[in-house]
Structure 1
Amino acid sequence: MMNVMNRVRLYHALLAILAIAAYLTGDIFPAHAWLGYGVAAVIVLRLLWAIGGERQVGLMRFYPKFDGLKLKVAITHPAISRVLMLGIALSLLTVSATGIIMDEGRVFGLKAAGIERQAGASGADTSRTGREHSEDDEDGEDGEDDEGPLSEIHELAGNLLLPFVGLHIAYLLAFKRPLAKFMLFVPRNTRKVMPAPPPA
């Protein structure tokens, strides 16, 4: 059976791939929305795993403890790594939550269906398809999706995610290289160094 750390590594890789893909497809609908829902699903599964899983995957791993933090050992103190992980987690949660709220189920066809029901009830023209409604929403004609504070929070959280991830990777490579190699699926160097022959 796969051990806990290998499962953590696979979860980490899946979340990273989905988050990067979602960021790169920011202007491409519906790819960006589907990838955002994928990120949200992985986060929900991770939260459920933390609640019912092993100690190694508990949410306390994201809580920075500053006990024993001294200037001499500050740079390698576990609190630094946890602060970076907490920043990544909060940014991802904010991006996912705001994205889902702004989408309003459009990617699943729920918003278009709701518009048609409202239009039918008021006697308005219901001949336009859900695709046309979707295109109107993308163009911002309803004035609610492309602008506003929620969209700005979504974009800000997405932009904050990048420096947190960059610092997290740089920190691990600089101070916790074995862990960084493990998480990046770099195989361990198993080559044994032969001892020097005894002097003649």
Structure 2
Amino acid sequence: MQRLKVWDPVVRVFHWSLVAGFAANALVLDDDGKLHQWVGYIVVALVILRLIWGVVGTRFARFSSFPPDISASLGQMRDILNGIRRIHIGHTPLGALMIYNLLLSMLVIGVSGWLMTTDMFWGVEWPEELHETAVAWAEVSVVLHVAAVLFESWRTSVNLPRAMITGCKEIQKDQEMVA
């Protein structure tokens, strides 16, 4: 078994803080409360931090290590359909698309939520409709993300949730790896 250091502390703290903030705002906190707004601002700050870290961070945190690539994503889907188990050391191509989707969704949620608090858009419906649509999209995306992580963990025998906690992926020595 090989133990590969992949996720740095910034990526892991960001990930789990985003999970907590989004879950709190979507499932627990009163939508009209001040705490909901502040948690939303924290989520946006986290995304901005992640965007910066995606440029200057460690190897697997950088966006250059997982560019959005439709061709590679289709290749990953072919691998899945054909039972080919390639282990991606960092993010998979489909995982990369989900990350970009979720980061953009969080920004749309945050900006539209903030617009609803401004005098300029007070009583205007589209910011609230955009906010609610983006939240629903993000909720569906999160469910798909969790399902995909569990499926890939089972399919590749790499415990991805544990890797996002410990920072290390444990990979069997005979598995084919892709950077």
Q: In the alignment, which of 64, 76, 100 is matched to residue 114 of structure 2?
A: 100
Identity of aligned residues (%): 23
- Is residue 2:111 matched to residue 1:87? no
Q: Structure 2 matches for 1:26-45, cutoff 5 A?
A: 26-45=30-49
Equivalence for 2:25: 22
Q: Give every structure 1 segment of 4 or more consecutive aligned residues whose post-TM-superposition deviation is greater than 4 Å.
A: 74-77
1:188 Cα deviation from its structure 2 partner: 9.5
Q: 1 or 2, which has the higher strand percentage?
A: 2
Change in Cα spacing, 1:87 to 1:40, as seen in structure 2 (3 Å) is: same
What secondary structure does 2:116 align onto? helix
Q: Structure 2 matches for 1:107-126, cutoff 5 A?
A: none
Which digits, 9 at most, give the CA deviation of each residue in 1:167-187, with x for residues without a partner? 1111111113412222256x9
Q: 2 CA distance for matches of 1:161 and 1:87? A: 8
Q: 2 CA distance for matches of 1:22 and 1:62? A: 29
Equivalence for 1:180: 161
Q: 2 CA distance for matches of 1:70 and 1:97? A: 33
Q: 2 CA distance for matches of 1:23 and 1:146? A: 22
Amino acid at match of 1:159: A
Q: 2 CA distance for matches of 1:62 and 1:103? A: 34
- Is residue 2:140 matched to residue 1:163? yes
Amino acid at match of 1:58: R
Please, what TM-score do these two structures have when normalized by structure 1?
Answer: 0.63
1:52 Cα deviation from its structure 2 partner: 2.3
Which digits, 9 at most, give the CA deviation of each residue in 1:139-162, with x for residues without a partner? xxx9x5355111101110001001
1:9 Cα deviation from its structure 2 partner: 1.2
Change in Cα spacing, 1:98 to 1:52, as seen in structure 2 (3 Å) is: same
Q: 2 CA distance for matches of 1:10 and 1:70? A: 28
CA contact (8 A) 1:33 1:103 kept: no
1:74 Cα deviation from its structure 2 partner: 4.5
Q: Whose relative contact order is higher, 1 or 2, with alpha carbons under 8 Å and at least 6 apart?
A: 2
CA contact (8 A) 1:62 1:86 kept: no
Higher radius of gyration, 1 or 2: 1
Change in Cα spacing, 1:151 to 1:28, as seen in structure 2 (3 Å) is: closer
Equivalence for 1:7: 10
1:97 Cα deviation from its structure 2 partner: 1.3
Contiguous gaps of at least 5 residues in structure 2: 1-5, 87-91, 171-179
Change in Cα spacing, 1:71 to 1:95, as seen in structure 2 (3 Å) is: closer
Q: 1 CA distance for matches of 2:117 and 2:18? A: 20
Contiguous gaps of at least 5 residues in structure 1: 105-110, 112-141, 190-200
Alignment size in residue pairs: 151
Q: 1 CA distance for matches of 2:123 and 2:21? A: 22
